[in-house]
Structure 1
Amino acid sequence: MEPPKKSGPPRRPGSGGPRRPTGARAAPGSRPARPPFRKTKAAPATPANPHPARAAAAAGGGNEPQRIAKLLARAGVASRREVERMIEEGRITLNGEAVSTPATLLSSLHGVAVDGNPVAAPAPARLFLFHKPSGFLTTERDPRGRPTIYDKLPPDLPRVMPIGRLDMMTEGLLLLTTDGEFKRQMELPSTGVPRTYRARAFGEVSQNQLEDLFDGLEIDGIRYGRIEANLERRTGRNQWIEMTLTEGKNREVRRVLEHLGLQVNRLIRTSYGPFHLGELASGAVEEVRQHDLVVFRKGLKGAK
Protein backbone atom coordinates (compact mmCIF):
# COMPACT_ATOMS: atom_id res chain seq x y z
CA MET A 1 0.00 0.00 0.00
CA GLU A 2 1.31 3.43 -0.89
CA PRO A 3 1.61 6.00 1.91
CA PRO A 4 -0.61 9.09 1.96
CA LYS A 5 0.12 11.57 -0.80
CA LYS A 6 1.61 14.98 -0.23
CA SER A 7 1.85 17.83 -2.65
CA GLY A 8 4.99 18.20 -4.73
CA PRO A 9 7.44 21.08 -4.35
CA PRO A 10 6.50 24.49 -5.76
CA ARG A 11 7.34 25.29 -9.33
CA ARG A 12 10.34 27.38 -10.20
CA PRO A 13 9.34 31.07 -10.41
CA GLY A 14 9.52 32.51 -13.86
CA SER A 15 10.13 29.25 -15.70
CA GLY A 16 9.23 29.37 -19.36
CA GLY A 17 5.76 28.65 -20.73
CA PRO A 18 2.51 27.72 -19.01
CA ARG A 19 2.76 25.10 -16.29
CA ARG A 20 0.34 22.56 -14.94
CA PRO A 21 -0.25 22.92 -11.20
CA THR A 22 1.67 20.57 -8.94
CA GLY A 23 0.08 18.80 -6.04
CA ALA A 24 -1.49 15.53 -5.10
CA ARG A 25 -2.72 13.29 -7.84
CA ALA A 26 -5.16 10.41 -7.82
CA ALA A 27 -3.78 6.94 -7.29
CA PRO A 28 -2.61 5.06 -10.40
CA GLY A 29 -5.53 4.01 -12.57
CA SER A 30 -8.16 6.12 -10.75
CA ARG A 31 -10.85 7.90 -12.79
CA PRO A 32 -10.54 11.67 -13.31
CA ALA A 33 -13.37 13.66 -11.77
CA ARG A 34 -14.83 14.75 -15.11
CA PRO A 35 -13.44 12.90 -18.12
CA PRO A 36 -14.13 14.69 -21.42
CA PHE A 37 -15.99 11.73 -22.86
CA ARG A 38 -18.39 9.28 -21.31
CA LYS A 39 -17.67 5.75 -22.44
CA THR A 40 -20.03 2.82 -22.63
CA LYS A 41 -19.12 -0.80 -22.20
CA ALA A 42 -18.49 -2.66 -25.41
CA ALA A 43 -21.40 -4.67 -26.69
CA PRO A 44 -20.59 -8.21 -27.81
CA ALA A 45 -19.36 -8.08 -31.37
CA THR A 46 -19.52 -10.63 -34.12
CA PRO A 47 -16.55 -12.98 -33.71
CA ALA A 48 -13.75 -11.99 -36.05
CA ASN A 49 -12.34 -14.19 -38.76
CA PRO A 50 -8.63 -14.76 -38.03
CA HIS A 51 -7.93 -13.14 -41.39
CA PRO A 52 -11.03 -11.04 -42.00
CA ALA A 53 -11.76 -9.58 -45.37
CA ARG A 54 -14.39 -7.15 -44.22
CA ALA A 55 -13.49 -3.83 -45.75
CA ALA A 56 -14.93 -0.55 -46.86
CA ALA A 57 -14.49 1.48 -49.97
CA ALA A 58 -12.51 4.67 -49.67
CA ALA A 59 -14.13 7.51 -47.75
CA GLY A 60 -16.01 9.99 -49.85
CA GLY A 61 -17.49 7.58 -52.35
CA GLY A 62 -14.32 6.03 -53.70
CA ASN A 63 -14.29 8.02 -56.98
CA GLU A 64 -10.64 9.06 -56.78
CA PRO A 65 -8.16 6.20 -57.33
CA GLN A 66 -6.04 5.34 -54.29
CA ARG A 67 -3.39 2.75 -53.49
CA ILE A 68 -4.85 -0.61 -52.60
CA ALA A 69 -2.70 -0.78 -49.47
CA LYS A 70 -4.25 2.47 -48.24
CA LEU A 71 -7.80 1.31 -49.01
CA LEU A 72 -7.34 -1.98 -47.20
CA ALA A 73 -5.73 -0.26 -44.21
CA ARG A 74 -8.58 2.23 -44.01
CA ALA A 75 -11.00 -0.67 -44.18
CA GLY A 76 -9.38 -2.27 -41.14
CA VAL A 77 -8.09 -5.38 -42.91
CA ALA A 78 -4.55 -4.68 -41.67
CA SER A 79 -2.00 -1.91 -41.36
CA ARG A 80 -0.36 -0.70 -44.57
CA ARG A 81 2.84 -2.54 -43.72
CA GLU A 82 0.93 -5.76 -43.04
CA VAL A 83 -1.03 -5.32 -46.29
CA GLU A 84 2.25 -5.01 -48.17
CA ARG A 85 3.44 -8.28 -46.64
CA MET A 86 0.14 -9.94 -47.53
CA ILE A 87 0.54 -8.80 -51.14
CA GLU A 88 4.07 -10.23 -51.25
CA GLU A 89 2.65 -13.53 -50.00
CA GLY A 90 0.00 -13.53 -52.74
CA ARG A 91 -2.89 -13.41 -50.27
CA ILE A 92 -4.67 -10.46 -51.90
CA THR A 93 -6.38 -10.80 -55.28
CA LEU A 94 -8.24 -8.52 -57.67
CA ASN A 95 -10.83 -10.24 -59.88
CA GLY A 96 -9.16 -13.56 -59.16
CA GLU A 97 -5.61 -12.43 -60.02
CA ALA A 98 -2.94 -11.92 -57.36
CA VAL A 99 -2.12 -8.26 -56.75
CA SER A 100 1.58 -7.72 -57.43
CA THR A 101 2.21 -4.33 -55.82
CA PRO A 102 0.77 -2.24 -52.96
CA ALA A 103 0.92 0.74 -55.32
CA THR A 104 -1.97 -0.67 -57.38
CA LEU A 105 -4.51 2.15 -57.83
CA LEU A 106 -8.22 1.46 -57.35
CA SER A 107 -11.30 3.64 -57.04
CA SER A 108 -13.00 1.05 -54.80
CA LEU A 109 -12.39 -2.38 -53.32
CA HIS A 110 -14.89 -4.07 -55.62
CA GLY A 111 -13.44 -7.40 -56.77
CA VAL A 112 -10.75 -7.47 -54.08
CA ALA A 113 -10.42 -10.56 -51.89
CA VAL A 114 -8.18 -11.42 -48.95
CA ASP A 115 -7.29 -15.09 -48.48
CA GLY A 116 -10.08 -15.87 -50.95
CA ASN A 117 -12.71 -13.94 -48.97
CA PRO A 118 -14.42 -11.20 -50.99
CA VAL A 119 -14.51 -7.73 -49.55
CA ALA A 120 -17.66 -7.21 -47.50
CA ALA A 121 -19.83 -4.15 -47.01
CA PRO A 122 -18.39 -1.02 -45.38
CA ALA A 123 -18.39 -0.70 -41.62
CA PRO A 124 -17.75 2.46 -39.56
CA ALA A 125 -14.51 2.76 -37.63
CA ARG A 126 -14.64 1.60 -34.01
CA LEU A 127 -12.39 2.51 -31.10
CA PHE A 128 -11.77 0.53 -27.91
CA LEU A 129 -9.98 1.33 -24.67
CA PHE A 130 -7.87 -1.54 -23.33
CA HIS A 131 -6.19 -1.63 -19.93
CA LYS A 132 -2.99 -3.38 -20.92
CA PRO A 133 -1.42 -5.35 -18.08
CA SER A 134 2.34 -5.45 -17.55
CA GLY A 135 4.09 -8.43 -19.14
CA PHE A 136 2.36 -8.45 -22.56
CA LEU A 137 3.82 -7.39 -25.91
CA THR A 138 1.94 -4.94 -28.13
CA THR A 139 2.10 -7.13 -31.21
CA GLU A 140 0.01 -9.81 -32.89
CA ARG A 141 2.57 -12.59 -32.53
CA ASP A 142 6.04 -13.06 -31.10
CA PRO A 143 8.64 -15.45 -32.60
CA ARG A 144 9.92 -16.15 -29.10
CA GLY A 145 6.49 -17.20 -27.89
CA ARG A 146 6.08 -14.45 -25.32
CA PRO A 147 2.51 -13.41 -24.39
CA THR A 148 0.93 -10.63 -26.47
CA ILE A 149 -2.09 -8.39 -25.98
CA TYR A 150 -4.04 -10.66 -28.35
CA ASP A 151 -3.71 -13.45 -25.80
CA LYS A 152 -5.50 -11.18 -23.34
CA LEU A 153 -8.20 -9.60 -25.53
CA PRO A 154 -11.77 -10.95 -25.40
CA PRO A 155 -12.52 -13.43 -28.21
CA ASP A 156 -15.67 -11.56 -29.29
CA LEU A 157 -13.84 -8.41 -30.38
CA PRO A 158 -13.69 -7.57 -34.09
CA ARG A 159 -10.27 -7.53 -35.71
CA VAL A 160 -8.48 -4.61 -34.00
CA MET A 161 -5.08 -2.93 -34.30
CA PRO A 162 -3.23 -1.06 -31.54
CA ILE A 163 -2.68 2.67 -31.94
CA GLY A 164 0.97 3.06 -31.07
CA ARG A 165 2.69 0.74 -28.64
CA LEU A 166 3.32 0.22 -24.97
CA ASP A 167 6.47 -1.76 -24.22
CA MET A 168 6.19 -5.12 -22.53
CA MET A 169 6.49 -3.92 -18.94
CA THR A 170 4.41 -0.75 -19.38
CA GLU A 171 0.77 -0.95 -18.35
CA GLY A 172 -2.27 1.26 -18.76
CA LEU A 173 -4.36 2.70 -21.58
CA LEU A 174 -3.90 1.26 -25.06
CA LEU A 175 -6.26 2.35 -27.85
CA LEU A 176 -7.44 -0.30 -30.31
CA THR A 177 -9.19 0.44 -33.60
CA THR A 178 -10.72 -1.39 -36.54
CA ASP A 179 -9.59 1.36 -38.95
CA GLY A 180 -6.01 1.21 -40.27
CA GLU A 181 -6.05 4.75 -41.66
CA PHE A 182 -7.25 6.17 -38.34
CA LYS A 183 -4.46 4.22 -36.61
CA ARG A 184 -1.88 5.76 -38.94
CA GLN A 185 -3.25 9.28 -38.48
CA MET A 186 -3.12 8.97 -34.69
CA GLU A 187 0.49 7.77 -34.79
CA LEU A 188 1.78 10.70 -36.86
CA PRO A 189 3.82 13.14 -34.71
CA SER A 190 2.17 16.04 -36.57
CA THR A 191 -1.22 15.04 -35.15
CA GLY A 192 0.01 16.14 -31.71
CA VAL A 193 -2.32 14.05 -29.56
CA PRO A 194 -1.10 14.26 -25.91
CA ARG A 195 -0.37 11.11 -23.90
CA THR A 196 -0.08 11.18 -20.11
CA TYR A 197 1.94 8.73 -18.05
CA ARG A 198 2.59 8.18 -14.35
CA ALA A 199 6.02 6.80 -13.55
CA ARG A 200 7.36 5.46 -10.29
CA ALA A 201 11.11 5.95 -10.34
CA PHE A 202 13.99 5.29 -7.94
CA GLY A 203 16.53 8.05 -7.40
CA GLU A 204 16.64 11.78 -6.78
CA VAL A 205 15.17 14.50 -8.99
CA SER A 206 13.90 18.02 -8.39
CA GLN A 207 10.88 19.81 -9.77
CA ASN A 208 13.25 22.31 -11.42
CA GLN A 209 14.94 19.48 -13.31
CA LEU A 210 11.57 18.22 -14.47
CA GLU A 211 10.50 21.67 -15.60
CA ASP A 212 13.59 21.88 -17.81
CA LEU A 213 11.99 19.12 -19.91
CA PHE A 214 9.42 21.68 -21.06
CA ASP A 215 11.97 22.96 -23.58
CA GLY A 216 12.80 19.45 -24.86
CA LEU A 217 16.18 17.74 -24.84
CA GLU A 218 18.51 15.57 -26.89
CA ILE A 219 19.71 12.12 -25.79
CA ASP A 220 22.23 10.12 -27.84
CA GLY A 221 21.43 12.14 -30.95
CA ILE A 222 17.64 11.78 -30.60
CA ARG A 223 15.67 14.97 -30.07
CA TYR A 224 12.68 14.78 -27.71
CA GLY A 225 10.12 17.56 -27.83
CA ARG A 226 8.32 19.38 -25.06
CA ILE A 227 7.38 17.35 -22.01
CA GLU A 228 5.27 18.62 -19.13
CA ALA A 229 6.40 16.88 -15.95
CA ASN A 230 5.28 17.18 -12.33
CA LEU A 231 6.79 15.61 -9.25
CA GLU A 232 3.73 14.29 -7.45
CA ARG A 233 5.16 12.83 -4.25
CA ARG A 234 8.09 10.98 -2.76
CA THR A 235 8.12 7.64 -0.95
CA GLY A 236 11.61 7.19 0.44
CA ARG A 237 13.86 7.28 -2.63
CA ASN A 238 10.96 6.46 -4.97
CA GLN A 239 8.83 9.20 -6.49
CA TRP A 240 5.74 9.35 -8.63
CA ILE A 241 6.13 11.63 -11.65
CA GLU A 242 3.38 12.60 -14.09
CA MET A 243 4.51 13.31 -17.66
CA THR A 244 2.54 14.53 -20.68
CA LEU A 245 4.05 14.42 -24.18
CA THR A 246 2.86 14.44 -27.77
CA GLU A 247 5.51 12.60 -29.77
CA GLY A 248 5.47 9.16 -28.16
CA LYS A 249 8.87 8.07 -29.45
CA ASN A 250 10.07 4.57 -28.60
CA ARG A 251 10.55 4.22 -24.81
CA GLU A 252 10.55 8.01 -24.52
CA VAL A 253 9.46 8.28 -20.88
CA ARG A 254 11.93 5.67 -19.69
CA ARG A 255 14.84 7.15 -21.63
CA VAL A 256 14.18 10.69 -20.47
CA LEU A 257 13.94 9.68 -16.82
CA GLU A 258 17.02 7.46 -17.09
CA HIS A 259 18.84 10.47 -18.54
CA LEU A 260 17.98 12.29 -15.29
CA GLY A 261 19.53 9.47 -13.28
CA LEU A 262 16.29 7.73 -12.35
CA GLN A 263 15.41 4.05 -12.56
CA VAL A 264 11.80 3.49 -13.65
CA ASN A 265 10.21 0.57 -11.81
CA ARG A 266 6.59 1.12 -12.84
CA LEU A 267 5.05 2.98 -15.78
CA ILE A 268 1.34 3.52 -16.43
CA ARG A 269 -0.29 5.38 -19.31
CA THR A 270 -3.35 7.09 -17.87
CA SER A 271 -4.73 8.95 -20.89
CA TYR A 272 -4.42 9.34 -24.66
CA GLY A 273 -6.02 12.54 -25.93
CA PRO A 274 -9.46 12.86 -24.31
CA PHE A 275 -9.66 9.15 -23.51
CA HIS A 276 -8.89 8.15 -19.91
CA LEU A 277 -7.97 4.87 -18.26
CA GLY A 278 -10.26 5.75 -15.38
CA GLU A 279 -11.43 2.75 -13.37
CA LEU A 280 -11.12 0.28 -16.23
CA ALA A 281 -9.87 -2.96 -14.70
CA SER A 282 -6.58 -4.49 -15.81
CA GLY A 283 -7.18 -6.62 -18.92
CA ALA A 284 -10.64 -5.12 -19.54
CA VAL A 285 -11.90 -3.55 -22.78
CA GLU A 286 -14.42 -0.73 -23.21
CA GLU A 287 -15.77 0.71 -26.46
CA VAL A 288 -15.88 4.44 -27.13
CA ARG A 289 -19.30 5.71 -28.18
CA GLN A 290 -19.55 6.29 -31.92
CA HIS A 291 -20.64 9.90 -31.36
CA ASP A 292 -17.55 10.62 -29.24
CA LEU A 293 -15.27 9.02 -31.81
CA VAL A 294 -16.76 11.10 -34.64
CA VAL A 295 -16.38 14.32 -32.62
CA PHE A 296 -12.78 13.48 -31.76
CA ARG A 297 -11.81 12.65 -35.35
CA LYS A 298 -13.26 15.90 -36.66
CA GLY A 299 -11.06 17.82 -34.24
CA LEU A 300 -7.80 16.07 -35.15
CA LYS A 301 -5.07 18.06 -36.86
CA GLY A 302 -5.15 17.44 -40.59
CA ALA A 303 -8.64 15.91 -40.42
CA LYS A 304 -10.56 16.16 -43.67
Structure 2
Amino acid sequence: MRLNKFISNNGSIARRTAEEYIRQGRVTINNMTVTDPAFNIIENKDKVRVDGELVKTSRKKVYIVLNKPRKVISGVSDDKHRTTVTDLIKSKEKIFPVGRLDYDTSGLILLTNDGEFANRLMHPRYKVEKTYRVKLSKPIEEKHKLLIQKGVRLGRKVTAPAYISFINPKDKRYINITIHEGMNRQVRKVFESFGYFVDKLERIKYGYLTLRGLASGQWRHLEPKEIQSLTKICKPEEK
Protein backbone atom coordinates (compact mmCIF):
# COMPACT_ATOMS: atom_id res chain seq x y z
CA MET A 1 0.00 0.00 0.00
CA ARG A 2 1.19 3.53 -0.77
CA LEU A 3 2.56 5.32 2.27
CA ASN A 4 0.27 8.37 2.00
CA LYS A 5 -2.81 6.16 1.69
CA PHE A 6 -1.79 4.04 4.68
CA ILE A 7 -1.34 7.11 6.89
CA SER A 8 -4.62 8.72 5.82
CA ASN A 9 -6.51 5.46 6.30
CA ASN A 10 -5.13 4.89 9.78
CA GLY A 11 -3.92 8.24 11.07
CA SER A 12 -5.84 11.33 12.11
CA ILE A 13 -5.03 13.28 8.94
CA ALA A 14 -6.33 13.47 5.37
CA ARG A 15 -4.29 12.18 2.43
CA ARG A 16 -3.17 15.61 1.22
CA THR A 17 -1.92 16.45 4.68
CA ALA A 18 -0.19 13.06 4.86
CA GLU A 19 1.64 13.86 1.62
CA GLU A 20 2.82 17.18 3.06
CA TYR A 21 4.09 15.52 6.23
CA ILE A 22 5.96 12.89 4.21
CA ARG A 23 7.67 15.48 1.99
CA GLN A 24 8.59 17.50 5.09
CA GLY A 25 10.51 14.52 6.46
CA ARG A 26 8.15 13.94 9.38
CA VAL A 27 7.47 10.29 8.52
CA THR A 28 9.66 7.27 9.17
CA ILE A 29 9.38 3.62 8.16
CA ASN A 30 11.24 1.24 10.44
CA ASN A 31 13.10 4.25 11.88
CA MET A 32 14.23 5.50 8.45
CA THR A 33 12.91 8.82 7.07
CA VAL A 34 10.97 8.48 3.81
CA THR A 35 9.96 11.50 1.71
CA ASP A 36 8.16 9.76 -1.16
CA PRO A 37 4.35 9.63 -0.66
CA ALA A 38 4.14 6.78 -3.21
CA PHE A 39 6.54 4.55 -1.29
CA ASN A 40 4.97 1.11 -0.85
CA ILE A 41 4.79 -0.39 2.62
CA ILE A 42 3.88 -3.83 3.93
CA GLU A 43 0.95 -3.56 6.31
CA ASN A 44 1.24 -5.29 9.69
CA LYS A 45 5.01 -5.54 9.16
CA ASP A 46 6.47 -2.08 8.52
CA LYS A 47 6.44 0.35 11.45
CA VAL A 48 5.26 3.76 10.25
CA ARG A 49 5.62 6.79 12.51
CA VAL A 50 4.50 10.39 12.08
CA ASP A 51 6.42 12.84 14.26
CA GLY A 52 7.62 9.83 16.22
CA GLU A 53 4.14 8.47 16.94
CA LEU A 54 3.35 4.98 15.67
CA VAL A 55 0.50 4.80 13.14
CA LYS A 56 -1.72 1.92 14.20
CA THR A 57 -4.17 0.16 11.92
CA SER A 58 -7.70 1.41 12.60
CA ARG A 59 -10.19 -1.36 13.30
CA LYS A 60 -13.41 0.59 13.08
CA LYS A 61 -14.33 3.30 10.58
CA VAL A 62 -16.05 6.31 12.13
CA TYR A 63 -18.21 8.88 10.34
CA ILE A 64 -19.49 11.90 12.28
CA VAL A 65 -21.35 15.11 11.47
CA LEU A 66 -20.82 18.10 13.77
CA ASN A 67 -22.54 21.47 13.96
CA LYS A 68 -19.37 23.50 14.49
CA PRO A 69 -19.72 26.64 16.59
CA ARG A 70 -17.85 29.83 15.74
CA LYS A 71 -14.44 30.31 17.37
CA VAL A 72 -13.55 26.62 17.02
CA ILE A 73 -10.59 25.39 14.94
CA SER A 74 -11.22 22.88 12.14
CA GLY A 75 -8.30 20.65 13.07
CA VAL A 76 -7.06 18.07 15.54
CA SER A 77 -4.71 20.44 17.38
CA ASP A 78 -3.86 24.13 17.65
CA ASP A 79 -0.58 25.78 18.60
CA LYS A 80 -2.52 28.57 20.33
CA HIS A 81 -4.41 26.03 22.46
CA ARG A 82 -7.80 27.05 21.08
CA THR A 83 -10.70 24.59 21.04
CA THR A 84 -10.71 22.25 18.03
CA VAL A 85 -13.54 20.27 16.47
CA THR A 86 -12.09 17.03 17.83
CA ASP A 87 -12.24 18.47 21.36
CA LEU A 88 -16.03 18.55 21.02
CA ILE A 89 -16.38 14.87 20.13
CA LYS A 90 -15.98 11.77 22.26
CA SER A 91 -14.45 9.09 20.06
CA LYS A 92 -12.16 6.18 20.90
CA GLU A 93 -10.82 6.30 17.34
CA LYS A 94 -8.57 9.09 16.09
CA ILE A 95 -10.61 11.24 13.72
CA PHE A 96 -9.95 14.31 11.60
CA PRO A 97 -12.15 16.88 9.82
CA VAL A 98 -13.03 16.49 6.15
CA GLY A 99 -11.89 19.85 4.82
CA ARG A 100 -12.29 22.86 7.03
CA LEU A 101 -14.50 25.73 8.10
CA ASP A 102 -12.96 29.08 9.01
CA TYR A 103 -12.55 29.99 12.68
CA ASP A 104 -15.45 32.47 12.41
CA THR A 105 -17.65 30.18 10.29
CA SER A 106 -20.14 27.80 11.88
CA GLY A 107 -22.12 24.86 10.63
CA LEU A 108 -21.84 21.40 9.15
CA ILE A 109 -18.48 19.66 9.15
CA LEU A 110 -17.72 15.96 8.74
CA LEU A 111 -15.13 14.04 10.74
CA THR A 112 -13.82 10.55 10.09
CA ASN A 113 -10.85 8.22 10.31
CA ASP A 114 -11.47 6.96 6.76
CA GLY A 115 -8.83 8.69 4.67
CA GLU A 116 -10.06 7.38 1.33
CA PHE A 117 -13.61 8.55 2.07
CA ALA A 118 -12.35 12.01 3.06
CA ASN A 119 -10.04 12.29 0.07
CA ARG A 120 -12.84 11.57 -2.40
CA LEU A 121 -15.24 14.04 -0.78
CA MET A 122 -12.62 16.80 -0.97
CA HIS A 123 -11.40 16.00 -4.48
CA PRO A 124 -12.56 18.67 -6.99
CA ARG A 125 -13.25 15.95 -9.56
CA TYR A 126 -16.46 14.92 -7.79
CA LYS A 127 -17.90 18.43 -7.33
CA VAL A 128 -19.60 17.72 -4.01
CA GLU A 129 -21.97 20.61 -3.33
CA LYS A 130 -21.85 22.67 -0.14
CA THR A 131 -24.52 25.21 0.78
CA TYR A 132 -23.89 28.20 3.04
CA ARG A 133 -26.29 30.59 4.72
CA VAL A 134 -24.92 34.12 4.50
CA LYS A 135 -25.75 37.44 6.14
CA LEU A 136 -24.24 40.34 4.20
CA SER A 137 -23.46 43.83 5.42
CA LYS A 138 -25.89 45.26 2.86
CA PRO A 139 -28.46 43.99 0.33
CA ILE A 140 -26.85 42.35 -2.68
CA GLU A 141 -27.47 43.98 -6.05
CA GLU A 142 -28.92 41.84 -8.81
CA LYS A 143 -25.98 42.51 -11.14
CA HIS A 144 -23.53 41.24 -8.53
CA LYS A 145 -25.68 38.19 -7.83
CA LEU A 146 -25.62 37.29 -11.53
CA LEU A 147 -21.85 37.77 -11.79
CA ILE A 148 -21.20 35.56 -8.76
CA GLN A 149 -23.43 32.87 -10.25
CA LYS A 150 -21.35 32.93 -13.45
CA GLY A 151 -17.98 32.81 -11.69
CA VAL A 152 -15.64 35.38 -10.13
CA ARG A 153 -11.91 35.89 -10.60
CA LEU A 154 -10.02 35.51 -7.32
CA GLY A 155 -6.35 36.08 -8.01
CA ARG A 156 -5.29 33.72 -10.79
CA LYS A 157 -8.37 31.52 -10.52
CA VAL A 158 -11.98 31.93 -11.59
CA THR A 159 -14.57 30.31 -9.36
CA ALA A 160 -16.96 27.78 -10.81
CA PRO A 161 -20.59 28.85 -11.25
CA ALA A 162 -22.52 29.13 -7.99
CA TYR A 163 -26.22 29.11 -7.18
CA ILE A 164 -27.71 31.89 -5.05
CA SER A 165 -31.20 32.07 -3.56
CA PHE A 166 -32.82 34.54 -1.19
CA ILE A 167 -33.94 33.39 2.24
CA ASN A 168 -36.25 36.39 2.45
CA PRO A 169 -36.87 38.23 -0.86
CA LYS A 170 -37.75 41.36 1.13
CA ASP A 171 -34.30 41.48 2.77
CA LYS A 172 -31.55 40.71 0.28
CA ARG A 173 -28.84 40.70 2.92
CA TYR A 174 -29.80 37.10 3.70
CA ILE A 175 -28.95 34.52 1.05
CA ASN A 176 -28.02 30.88 0.50
CA ILE A 177 -25.12 30.12 -1.82
CA THR A 178 -24.21 26.67 -3.15
CA ILE A 179 -20.70 25.92 -4.43
CA HIS A 180 -18.69 22.77 -5.08
CA GLU A 181 -15.17 24.13 -4.71
CA GLY A 182 -13.08 24.52 -1.59
CA MET A 183 -10.81 27.53 -2.06
CA ASN A 184 -9.59 29.13 1.16
CA ARG A 185 -12.26 31.55 2.48
CA GLN A 186 -13.92 31.39 -0.94
CA VAL A 187 -17.41 32.57 0.03
CA ARG A 188 -16.10 35.54 2.00
CA LYS A 189 -13.65 36.54 -0.73
CA VAL A 190 -16.29 36.35 -3.47
CA PHE A 191 -18.60 38.80 -1.71
CA GLU A 192 -15.75 41.03 -0.55
CA SER A 193 -14.64 41.41 -4.18
CA PHE A 194 -17.92 43.29 -4.79
CA GLY A 195 -17.75 45.39 -1.63
CA TYR A 196 -19.87 43.24 0.70
CA PHE A 197 -18.75 42.19 4.16
CA VAL A 198 -19.94 38.81 5.41
CA ASP A 199 -21.43 39.40 8.86
CA LYS A 200 -22.36 35.76 9.41
CA LEU A 201 -21.53 32.53 7.59
CA GLU A 202 -22.90 29.07 8.29
CA ARG A 203 -22.61 25.87 6.26
CA ILE A 204 -26.02 24.22 6.29
CA LYS A 205 -25.61 21.41 3.77
CA TYR A 206 -22.87 19.05 2.53
CA GLY A 207 -23.93 16.81 -0.34
CA TYR A 208 -27.19 15.30 0.90
CA LEU A 209 -26.43 15.99 4.56
CA THR A 210 -28.05 18.78 6.58
CA LEU A 211 -27.87 19.96 10.19
CA ARG A 212 -31.16 18.22 10.97
CA GLY A 213 -31.64 18.05 14.73
CA LEU A 214 -28.18 19.35 15.64
CA ALA A 215 -27.83 22.46 17.76
CA SER A 216 -24.53 24.35 17.78
CA GLY A 217 -21.80 22.13 19.23
CA GLN A 218 -23.82 18.92 18.90
CA TRP A 219 -22.76 15.92 16.81
CA ARG A 220 -23.91 12.45 15.82
CA HIS A 221 -22.71 9.40 13.92
CA LEU A 222 -23.82 9.14 10.31
CA GLU A 223 -26.42 6.52 9.51
CA PRO A 224 -25.41 3.75 7.06
CA LYS A 225 -27.69 5.16 4.36
CA GLU A 226 -26.07 8.59 4.74
CA ILE A 227 -22.59 7.11 4.34
CA GLN A 228 -23.79 5.25 1.25
CA SER A 229 -25.28 8.43 -0.23
CA LEU A 230 -22.04 10.37 0.22
CA THR A 231 -20.00 7.49 -1.13
CA LYS A 232 -22.25 7.30 -4.18
CA ILE A 233 -21.68 10.99 -4.97
CA CYS A 234 -17.94 10.48 -5.33
CA LYS A 235 -17.86 6.97 -6.74
CA PRO A 236 -15.47 6.63 -9.70
CA GLU A 237 -17.19 6.03 -13.02
CA GLU A 238 -16.90 2.50 -14.30
CA LYS A 239 -14.96 2.19 -17.54
TM > 0.5: yes
Please tell me whether residue 104 in structure 1 is matched to residue 35 in structure 2.
Answer: no
Shift of 1:160: 1.1
| Partner deviation per Cα, 1:203-251 (whole Å, 9 max, x = no partner) | 2323443133222121333311111012322787x72111001112111
Shift of 1:118: 7.5
Q: Is the 8 A contact 1:231 1:240 kept in 2?
A: yes
| Deviation larger for 260-269 or 219-228 | 219-228
* 2:165 aligned residue: 230
Q: Residues 207 and 178 from structure 1, CA distance in 2 versus in 1: closer, same or farther, beyond 3 angstroms? A: same
* 1:272 aligned residue: 206
* 1:154 aligned residue: 89
The correspondence of residues 1-304 of structure 1 with structure 2, limited to 5 A, is 66-80=1-15, 81-82=17-18, 85=21, 88-89=25-26, 92-94=28-30, 97-98=31-32, 100-101=34-35, 102-106=37-41, 108-113=42-47, 114=49, 119-120=56-57, 122-123=59-60, 125-151=61-87, 153-233=88-168, 239-302=173-236
Q: Is the 8 A contact 1:138 1:165 kept in 2?
A: yes
The structure that has the greater radius of gyration is 1
Matched to 2:121, the amino acid is: M
Paired residue secondary structure (2:202): strand
Paired residue secondary structure (2:82): coil
How far apart are the structure 1 equivalents of 2:192 and 2:153?
13
Shift of 1:170: 0.2
Paired residue secondary structure (1:105): coil
How far apart are the structure 2 equivalents of 1:119 and 1:244?
38
TM-score (normalizing by structure 2): 0.84
Matched to 1:200, the amino acid is: K
More helix by share: 2
How far apart are the structure 2 equivalents of 1:210 and 1:118?
47
Flag the structure with more relative contact order, 1 or 2, with Cα contacts below 8 A and sequence separation at least 6: 1
How far apart are the structure 1 equivalents of 2:58 and 2:83?
33
How far apart are the structure 2 equivalents of 1:209 and 1:281?
33
| Partner deviation per Cα, 1:155-207 (whole Å, 9 max, x = no partner) | 33521111111000000000111111221211111110000000011123234
Question: RMSD value over aligned CA atoms?
Answer: 2.7
Q: Residues 179 and 217 from structure 1, CA distance in 2 versus in 1: closer, same or farther, beyond 3 angstroms? A: same
| Partner deviation per Cα, 1:46-90 (whole Å, 9 max, x = no partner) | xxxxxxxxxxxxxxxxxxxx3222122133453333476379345
Q: Is the 8 A contact 1:93 1:99 kept in 2?
A: yes
How far apart are the structure 2 equivalents of 1:88 and 1:303?
35
Moved over 6 A (4+): none
How far apart are the structure 1 equivalents of 2:69 and 2:124?
25
> Any gaps of 5 or more consecutive residues in structure 1?
1-65
Q: Residues 121 and 188 from structure 1, CA distance in 2 versus in 1: closer, same or farther, beyond 3 angstroms? A: closer
Give the total of aligned pairs. Answer: 232
Paired residue secondary structure (1:199): strand
- Identical columns (%): 25
Q: Is the 8 A contact 2:10 2:56 kept in 1?
A: no
Paired residue secondary structure (1:112): coil
TM-score (normalizing by structure 1): 0.67
